[in-house]
Structure 1
Amino acid sequence: MQHLRRQSLKKAHRSASSVPSLCRFFSTEEREPIHRRPVVTFEDISTATYRVREGIQHTSCNYSAFLSKRMGYELFLKKDYRQMTGSFKERGARNALMLLTPEQKQRGVIAASAGNHALALAYHGRMLGIPVTCIMPTIAPLAKVKGCQELGARVILHGAHILEAKIKADEFVDTEDLVYINGFDHPNIIAGAGTMGIEILNQVPKADAIIVPVGGGGLIAGIALAVKTLNPSIQVIGVEPENCASFTAALAAGHPVDTNTKPTLADGLAVPKVGANAFEVAAPLIDRMVTVSEKAIALSVLRLCELEKVVVEGGGAASLAALIDDKLPDLRVRFMQRAHQTLTTALATIAHDNAGASL
Structure 2
Amino acid sequence: MAAVPDAPVTPPVTAADVRSARELLSGVVRPTPIAGARALSDLTGTSVHLKCENLQRTGSFKIRGAYTRIARLTAAERARGVVAASAGNHAQGVALAARLLGVRATVFMPERAALPKVDATRGYGAEVVLTGESVDDAVTAATASAADSGAVLVHPFDHPDVVAGQGTVGLEILEQVPDVGTVLVSAGGGGLLGGIAAVVREYRPRTRIVGVQAAGAAAWPSSLAAGRPMPLAGMRTMADGIAVGRPGDVTFPQVAGLIDEMVTVGEDALSGALVHCLERAKMVVEPAGAAPVAALLERPDRFAGPIVAVLSGGNVDPLVLLQVIRHGLVGSARYLTLHVQIQDRPGALAELLARVGSLGANVTDVAHSRISGALAVGEVDVELSLETRGAEHRDAIVAGLREAGHAVPAPA
> Aligned pair 1:228/2:173, yes or no?
no
Partner of 1:339: none
Q: CA deviation at 1:72?
A: 2.4
Partner of 1:189: 162
AA paired with 2:22? T
**Structure 1, residues 198-219: CA drift from partner, whole Å, max 9, x if none?**
1100000011010111111111
Q: CA deviation at 1:289?
A: 1.0
Matches within 5 A, 1:77-116: 77-116=50-89
Q: In 2, Cα distance between the equivalents of 1:105 and 1:357?
A: 32
Matches within 5 A, 1:151-230: 151-230=124-203
Matches within 5 A, 1:233-248: 233-248=206-221
Q: Is the Cα–Cα contact under 8 Å of residues 293 and 325 in structure 1 kept in the other structure?
A: no
Choose which of 303, 312, 315 in structure 2 pairs with 1:352. Answer: 312
Choose which of 275, 284, 305 in structure 2 pairs with 1:302. Answer: 275
AA paired with 2:107? C
AA paired with 2:123? E
Q: In 2, Cα distance between the equivalents of 1:268 and 1:38?
A: 24
Q: In 1, Cα distance between the equivalents of 2:166 and 2:76?
A: 25
> Aligned pair 1:271/2:241, yes or no?
no
Q: CA deviation at 1:49?
A: 0.8
**Structure 1, residues 296-342: CA drift from partner, whole Å, max 9, x if none?**
1111001000011111111111001111111x6243xx5xxxxxxxx
Partner of 2:262: 289
Q: Is the Cα–Cα contact under 8 Å of residues 68 and 162 in structure 2 kept in the other structure?
A: yes
Q: Is the Cα–Cα contact under 8 Å of residues 273 and 294 in structure 2 kept in the other structure?
A: yes
User: Counting helix residues as a fraction of each chain, which structure ranks higher?
Assistant: 1
RMSD: 1.8
Q: In 1, Cα distance between the equivalents of 2:197 and 2:220?
A: 14
**Structure 1, residues 53-93: CA drift from partner, whole Å, max 9, x if none?**
11001001122223212332210000001112101111101
Higher mean C-alpha deviation, range 105-114 or range 197-206: 105-114
Q: Per the alignment, do residues 194 and 81 of structure 1 end up closer, same or farther by CA in structure 2, a change over 3 Å counting?
A: same
Larger radius of gyration: 2
Q: Is the Cα–Cα contact under 8 Å of residues 239 and 290 in structure 1 kept in the other structure?
A: yes
**Structure 1, residues 39-61: CA drift from partner, whole Å, max 9, x if none?**
22222111001110110010011
User: Normalising by structure 2, what TM-score?
Assistant: 0.72
- Secondary structure of the structure 1 residue equivalent to 2:181: strand
Partner of 1:322: 295
Q: Is the Cα–Cα contact under 8 Å of residues 261 and 270 in structure 1 kept in the other structure?
A: no
Choose which of 272, 281, 285 in structure 2 pairs with 1:312. Answer: 285
Q: CA deviation at 1:174?
A: 2.2
Choose which of 29, 36, 41 in structure 2 pairs with 1:68. Answer: 41
Higher mean C-alpha deviation, range 237-246 or range 205-214: 237-246
Q: In 1, Cα distance between the equivalents of 2:134 and 2:235?
A: 14
Q: CA deviation at 1:38?
A: 5.9
Matches within 5 A, 1:336-347: 345-347=305-307
Q: In 2, Cα distance between the equivalents of 1:163 and 1:297?
A: 22
Gaps of 5+ in 2: 1-8, 319-412
AA paired with 1:195? T
AA paired with 2:143? D
Partner of 2:32: 59
AA paired with 1:352? S
AA paired with 1:347? I
**Structure 1, residues 86-134: CA drift from partner, whole Å, max 9, x if none?**
0111110111111111111121110111211010000111111111110
Q: Is the Cα–Cα contact under 8 Å of residues 76 and 348 in structure 1 kept in the other structure?
A: yes
Q: CA deviation at 1:37?
A: 6.7
User: Normalising by structure 1, what TM-score?
Assistant: 0.83
Q: In 2, Cα distance between the equivalents of 1:211 and 1:59?
A: 16
Q: How many residues align?
A: 310
Q: CA deviation at 1:144?
A: 1.2
**Structure 1, residues 155-174: CA drift from partner, whole Å, max 9, x if none?**
11222333332332223212
Q: In 2, Cα distance between the equivalents of 1:312 and 1:347?
A: 18
Q: Is the Cα–Cα contact under 8 Å of residues 85 and 120 in structure 1 kept in the other structure?
A: yes
Matches within 5 A, 1:115-154: 115-154=88-127
Q: In 2, Cα distance between the equivalents of 1:160 and 1:259?
A: 15
Q: In 1, Cα distance between the equivalents of 2:288 and 2:316?
A: 13
Q: Is the Cα–Cα contact under 8 Å of residues 166 and 191 in structure 2 kept in the other structure?
A: yes
Q: In 2, Cα distance between the equivalents of 1:38 and 1:329?
A: 30
Q: Is the Cα–Cα contact under 8 Å of residues 244 and 260 in structure 1 kept in the other structure?
A: no
Q: CA deviation at 1:184?
A: 1.0
- Secondary structure of the structure 2 residue equivalent to 1:195: helix
Q: In 2, Cα distance between the equivalents of 1:261 and 1:179?
A: 28
- What fraction of aligned residue pairs are identical, expressed as a percent? 37
- Secondary structure of the structure 1 residue equivalent to 2:290: helix
**Structure 1, residues 239-269: CA drift from partner, whole Å, max 9, x if none?**
1111122111111111110123442122211
